[in-house]
Amino acid sequence: MKDELVSIGEKVVKRALEIGFDEAAVTVTYVNSSMTKFANSEPSVIQSWKGRRVAVYVAKNKRILGTEGSVQSINDVYDILNRLHVLSEKIPESMLYAPLPKPEKIDFMEKLVDTKVLEIIEDPSPISQLIVEATHRENIEYFAGMFEAKYEARALVTSTGAELFEDATSVKSYVRAFAGEGSGQWSVGFRKLDLKKIENMAETASRYATMARHQEEISPGKYNIILSPMVAGNLMNYVAMMASAMRVMMGMSIFANKAPGTRIASEKFTLIDDPRNPELPNSWSFDEEGMPTFSKPIIENGVLKTLLHNTKTAAKMGAKSTGNAGLIFPHPWNLRVPEGEYSLEELIEEAKNGFLVTNNWYTRLQNYIEGTFSTITRDAILVIKNGEIAGAAKKFRIADSFPRMLNNIIALGKEVFDI
């Protein structure tokens, strides 16, 4: 697989230079995956995919272009190069242009491929049976969900001499259970098959569904809220994306007027971009420019520490690449919030009166600079009264701003989840 993907990359880079581009970077990805979908408490559809995707970055006279897509043959990629070459004559020079970096030593992570995941790709039935059985340990009516097992091989070739290859497996799954008026959802994601985590995911979803079986209306107002890892993960993904230096330069970030070293959150809060954690499903040893990845705090003890850079944004802002290059935008890899000091029971007691929000969707930003946003609660919303769970609420909209939310963090849970 390595030789095949690298060979494709070499041929595409060679052709790009032959037709007149000054430089090129090509990522060739092979994916073999299976997805099991659940409906009415049983597997309903099993889908399998095998295929290649090619991402192409090219530059000519400081004009840059990039695209990616599925391809059937090398000729498909050559056609893409020809179209990009025509476009390169019609666009202006990029204010962000910087040469592709020369290759650096890559410290490759080990054992990112789990043979058990490879077996599950071919036969996911043991996991399906586990999910069905574990979800129905609670008195629910039915559930829906998804389980995906994937093998991914990735080769990068650049005109500056990089020839890199890495492969890995991953597992992602979620369950949404229903009981009366209530529903509960939970998810997991990791590199290596962990049956206990899958089992806990199913049990958690059904437990929340039964706890939300009967619901009450609530009045608008300001409340203390405990955000589950599902909700915190969704919202922190927006914060991390706004740490991309490209978004800062575009004025689409709460960090647009903030310099590293500025306090922007509670001192209890740290947010880490963690591409070097081999347990997490988006861990890779190199980025789309061939630069080595490394783990870094975006926010540390409430202080903005690092924007996420590729070589272009780094050159523009007088910084160094942080190993976060995508095809065009720098982006986070995996997000990690270090554990706090409180159990869930202690968090509920600390909140006194408010809500435990277990899931959300439809998160929308009204103002990127100010970070004002709204999101809709989903599934179990547990009512907290006098430091105890006292029922469940019907769904509502949360309206706040990311800076205010980050500064109002008063406690963090000590149990860490791979969401």
Residue 68 parent element (H or E): strand 63-71
- CA angle, corner 372, sides to 371 and 376, nearest 5? 120
Please give the full DSSP string across 147-167, using - where no structure is assigned.
EEEEEEEEEEEETTS-EEEEE
- CA angle, corner 333, sides to 65 and 185, nearest 5? 120
Can you tell me the distance from the alpha carbon of 236 to that of 357, in angstroms, rounded to the nearest whole number?
A: 15
Of 299, 332, 330, 326, the residue nearest 317 (C-alpha): 330
Can you tell me the distance from the alpha carbon of 200 to that of 210, in angstroms, rounded to the nearest whole number?
A: 15
Q: What is the CATH superfamily name and number for domain 2-128+145-171?
A: PmbA/TldD superfamily (3.30.2290.10)
Those residues with Cβ within 8 angstroms of residue 89's Cβ, 6 or more apart along the chain or in another chain: none
**Strands, sheet with 296-300, edge to edge from the N-terminal-most edge strand:** 303-304, 296-300, 271-273, 335-336
Helix axes 2-18, 74-88, angle to 10 degrees: 30
**Average pLDDT for 263-270:** 98
* H helices present in 242-310, as ranges: 245-249
Can you tell me the distance from the alpha carbon of 407 to that of 307, in angstroms, rounded to the nearest whole number?
A: 19
Of 57, 51, 56, the residue nearest 72 (C-alpha): 51
Q: By percentage, how much of the chain surpasses pLDDT 70?
A: 100
How confident is the model over 174-228, as pLDDT tens digits? 999 999 999 999 999 999 999 999 999 999 999 999 999 999 999 999 999 999 9
| Confidence label for 282 from pLDDT (cuts 50, 70 and 90) | very high
How confident is the model over 70-82, as pLDDT tens digits? 999 999 999 999 9
Can you tell me the distance from the alpha carbon of 36 to that of 15, in angstroms, rounded to the nearest whole number?
A: 40
**Tokens standing for residue 171:** 């597992």
Distance in angstroms between the alpha carbons of the first and the last residue of the chain: 30
The helix/strand count (H/E) of the chain reads as 10, 18
- CA angle, corner 135, sides to 130 and 139, nearest 5? 145
- Residue 172's pLDDT is what? 98
> If DSSP codes are grouped into helix, strand and coil, which group holds residue 220?
coil
Q: Where are the domains of the chain?
A: 2-128+145-171, 214-419
Measured CA distances, 302 to 80, 147, 208, 362, 407 (Å): 45, 36, 31, 27, 8
Of 375, 367, 284, 365, the residue nearest 331 (C-alpha): 284
| Confidence label for 127 from pLDDT (cuts 50, 70 and 90) | very high
Can you tell me the distance from the alpha carbon of 58 to that of 240, in angstroms, rounded to the nearest whole number?
A: 27
Question: Do 327 and 55 touch, CB atoms closer than 8 A?
Answer: yes
- pTM to 2 decimals? 0.95
**Average pLDDT for 301-316:** 97
Those residues with Cβ within 8 angstroms of residue 188's Cβ, 6 or more apart along the chain or in another chain: 171, 172, 173, 174, 194, 197, 198, 200, 201, 417, 418, 419
Average pLDDT over the chain reads 97
- Residue 45's pLDDT is what? 96
**Rg for the chain (alpha carbons), in Å?**
23
